[in-house]
Amino acid sequence: MARYLNYNVMEKSQSAPTHGETVSSDLIQSSLQEAGVIIGKNGDFVGLPRVVFTQVYEQTSTNDIPDAVSLVDFKGAISIGEQCFMDSTSGAPFPNDVVKLTSAKRPNFDTGKIVIGNNACLQGTCIVAYESVCIGNNALFGSNVVIMDCDGHTLQHRFNEDEVARLSVRPVVIGDDVWVGYGAIILKGVTIGDNAVIGAGSVVHCDVPSGGVVAGNPAKLIKRHS
């Protein structure tokens, strides 16, 4: 049975803002860097993101429940490029959640990696990596996009003692200059080529070619642009 132990970086960091304190971009970035998050130059963080290290474990009748998340396992697991913009506020006229970046560590597997290229724009974006989510340069995400390389559960025999070992995990790769519309969901194993466009509300379960424009649930190729 899959169980989770979470470490919320912004809640635990010594540099984290206290209740009611104005949150500056510099303070947010220094808090993340303290925990081993790699951040490039000239980033702009608006609002408080939720950056979480998650220890995934099997709950059985015999094993021990972890006492705490091992931060050593997560050092460098999340990397954010230069000049990235992350909006975790509700100030925009459209609905916008907080940015959520979650790196997961399973027993006997490497820690999940999140790599975000330079000049990316995330607005209420949720990224979950059990193995790898890699995003290229100049990626633009509309509000409330979800990207995950694992469903987080099995389809059969859920809650069995070997559920974590049986999880299906496949990396996600998003190329350069990709535009993803509001509320899209990008599922495990998907590769999106450079200059692709993902329509709002799309559920992307298969690869998108470079220059491709897809939309719908499930997302289908509509056209290609140069």
Under 8 Å between Cβ of 122 and 84: yes
d(CA 74, CA 169): 18
φ and ψ of 140, to 5 deg: -125, 120
| 157 noted as active-site residue | yes
Radius of gyration from C-alpha coordinates of the chain: 18
Residue 199 CB contacts under 8 Å (≥ 6 apart), including other chains: 181, 184, 213, 214, 215, 216, 219, 222
Which of these is catalytic: 19, 157, 205, 225? 157
d(CA 16, CA 132): 27
**Active-site residue numbers?**
157
